[in-house]
Amino acid sequence: MSEREAAEDPGRALVSASGETEERALEAALRPKNLDDFVGQKRVRKQLSLVLEASRLRGSSADHVLLSGPPGLGKTTLAMIIAAEMNAPLRISSGPAIQHAGDLAAILSSLTEGEVLFLDEIHRMSRPAEEMLYMAMEDYRVDIVVGKGAGATAIPLELPPFTLVGATTRAGLLPGPLRDRFGFTGHLEFYSEEELQLVLRRSAALLDLKLSAGGFAEIAGRSRGTPRIANRLLRRVRDWALVHGLSTIEASHASAALEMYEIDAKGLDRLDRSVLQALIGKFNGGPVGLSTLAIAVGEEMETVETVAEPFLVREGLLGRTPRGRIAMPAAWQHLGLPLPEGASAVQFPALFDSLESEEEVAETEPEWFHRS
């Protein structure tokens, strides 16, 4: 989101998963520096440590590594860790910065042996640069084209062995030939609440902050499975504690601080809640078309679709159907509202999954349950 939007809606800025430029400096201080400090992502961590260990034993540069996953889960952090663990220098660039093959040639030709080249947002590189990268990854060689048209000649240039670490939030957009040239692909998953608590404990220690177990749990629960959001919420809670002169931050303090920014117990912000409230209050749970829903909450369609919906869908609060958006039973629950009468089993498949015992069914089943 832009700075203007962030200023208009501080709650939205808090739970957005993407990192803003000024935030990057703060993040750097909290970034784990080695694999052991990197919390969670057990599978990726184990696989990666094997890849790195093997290359150390071989005495060669590590295989090329592709890291994919949603924003804020630790791709950049892992890239830096790879360089640190390999004791190798790190060069950083990104797809959008490489618009011509020449841009890439300039970077590649200045790499030193064993250097780690981190290409962020690698899916946004230009086609010609991508093709140059294929050869560089495979044969440590590039062809520099000099001149134009019939007189153009390709001058081959040998490269020292290097390790490419690519990061992408959109692995699906990477062309197959590029994806295939990575020796290892790590897909980062959202973090569990327990893992986020560990992230927070580590950050709190670095920031010299004291929180009770409940305080950590309260923040972790609102962090949407994302360490970047967890650390950001922790900073807001820290401000609150400072202003209120608290030495230990308890659950109630953390929740009071975050309520102030309208971040609720599940990590929903004002926009997320107003989408659910409109769906339920104005359209009886839907289905309703996206454009109508957007008008009802006074936002652009794109904002509702790309900013609010992904998390609501992930949390099982909202469903996308061919006939439009529907509120899921969890949405009523989350807003503390009773489920409407006449709700259908087709519309609410999740209702049936959430019923655990027979008594519970007897207690909660509505009248329509018997009819169908």
Ligand X SMILES: Nc1ncnc2c1ncn2[C@@H]1O[C@H](COP(=O)(O)OP(=O)(O)OP(=O)(O)O)[C@@H](O)[C@H]1O
Instruction: Using CB under 6 A, list all residues that contact ligand X.
Output: 18-19, 27, 30-32, 38-41, 71-77, 169, 199, 227-228, 231
Q: What is the DSSP letter of 1?
A: -
- Pick the stretch among 76-84, 261-269, 282-290, 325-333 that binds Mg ion (CB under 5 A): 76-84
Q: Which of 50, 16, 54 is nearest to 35 (CA)?
A: 50
Cβ-proximal residue to Mg ion, closest one: 76
Residues 84-103 that bind Mg ion (CB under 5 A): none
DSSP secondary structure, 70-82, as one string: STTSSHHHHHHHH
Give 61 or 231: the residue with its C-beta nearer to ligand X: 231
273 is in an annotated binding site: no
Residue 170 CB, nearest distance to ligand X (Å)? Answer: 10
Residue 51 CB, nearest distance to ligand X (Å)? Answer: 17
Q: Does 76 bind Mg ion (CB under 5 A)?
A: yes
Give 202 or 320: the residue with its C-beta nearer to ligand X: 202
Residue 76 CB, nearest distance to Mg ion (Å)? Answer: 3
112 is in an annotated binding site: no
Give 227 or 286: the residue with its C-beta nearer to ligand X: 227
- Compute the residue count for the chain: 372
What pairs with residue 117 in β-bridges? Answer: 91, 164
CA 200 to chain centre: 17
228 is in an annotated binding site: yes
Q: Which of 341, 286, 337 is nearest to 309 (CA)?
A: 286
Tell me the two tokens of residue 254.
């953390």
Catalytic residue among 12, 76, 226, 232: 76
What pairs with residue 153 in β-bridges? Answer: 146
Catalytic residue among 45, 222, 228, 236: 228
Which does residue 225 touch among Mg ion, ligand X, none (CB within 5 to 8 A, set by kind)?
none
12 is in an annotated binding site: no
Site size toward Mg ion (CB under 5 A) is 2
Please name the residues in contact with 371: beta carbons below 8 A apart, sequence gap of 6 or more: none
3-state secondary structure of 224: coil
Helices marked H in the chain: 3-8, 10-15, 21-30, 42-58, 75-85, 101-109, 127-139, 176-180, 193-207, 213-221, 227-243, 251-260, 270-281, 290-297, 301-302, 309-314, 329-335, 349-354, 358-364, 368-371
140 is in an annotated binding site: yes
Which does residue 93 touch among Mg ion, ligand X, none (CB within 5 to 8 A, set by kind)?
none
228 is catalytic: yes
Distance (Å) of CA 42 to CA 187, 217, 346: 11, 21, 37
120 is catalytic: yes
321 is catalytic: no
Residue 349 CB, nearest distance to ligand X (Å)? Answer: 32
181 is in an annotated binding site: yes
Residue 318 CB, nearest distance to Mg ion (Å)? Answer: 28
Please name the residues in contact with 243: beta carbons below 8 A apart, sequence gap of 6 or more: none
Tell me the two tokens of residue 327.
């509120």
Give 76 or 223: the residue with its C-beta nearer to Mg ion: 76
143 is in an annotated binding site: no
Q: Does 68 bind Mg ion (CB under 5 A)?
A: no
Residue 347 CB, nearest distance to ligand X (Å)? Answer: 35
Tell me the two tokens of residue 92.
């950083």
169 is catalytic: yes
Give 73 or 304: the residue with its C-beta nearer to ligand X: 73
Q: Which of 232, 250, 228 is nearest to 241 (CA)?
A: 250
Which does residue 186 touch among Mg ion, ligand X, none (CB within 5 to 8 A, set by kind)?
none
Catalytic residue among 163, 168, 169, 226: 169
Residue located via tokens 């200023």: 7
Catalytic residue among 12, 45, 120, 269: 120
Catalytic positions: 75-76, 120, 169, 228
Q: Which residues bind Mg ion (CB under 5 A)?
A: 75-76
Which residue positions form the known binding site for DNA? 320, 325
